[in-house]
Amino acid sequence: MTYKNLSKTFFINLFLIITIFAIDRISKIYVISMSNKVLVSDIFSSKFLNISLIWNEGIAFGLFSFNQNYLYDLLTIIISIIIFIIFVMLIQQKGLRKYALSMIFGGAIGNLYDRIFFQAVPDFIDFHIADFHWFIFNIADIFITVGVIFMIFCELIGINDQYEKN
């Protein structure tokens, strides 16, 4: 692997991570400010999509929400360790898996930022059909989910073996 090749993939992955983090931050700041302006959590409603701000103190989709601070702090530490492991995996991977891990890492640090500075993650995208509502999520969750699906896809069809030269 040459230095030129290393720096190219490094900067592409860094750009991807920073872009995901920025899009996530901008969307959350916008929704929070809109919620503060209208003084309600329901910002937008349509037939299939609502923009409704909720504060998620648990992990994905509000699972494991705790009222005790020490349990929240423990969960945040566990999430931080998992993000560090993803970072190590990101450094070690090559090819398309590296981009999938970059999406996961970018979304994960976006949500970790909120957990540290707000003690909760703002979720606001609510897809629904009639009275059936999916879990409310945010932009970071979208990138994490797409990255995981992409990793599974790469594993199932062995696509990364063709691109190991990067």
Positions annotated as catalytic residues are: 123, 141
Distance CA 14, CA 10 (A): 6
The answer to whether 147 and 109 have CB atoms below 8 angstroms apart is no
Radius of gyration of the chain (CA): 18
Distance CA 104, CA 108 (A): 6
Number of neighbours of residue 95 by Cβ within 10 angstroms: 17
DSSP 45: E
> CA 67 from chain center: how many Å?
23
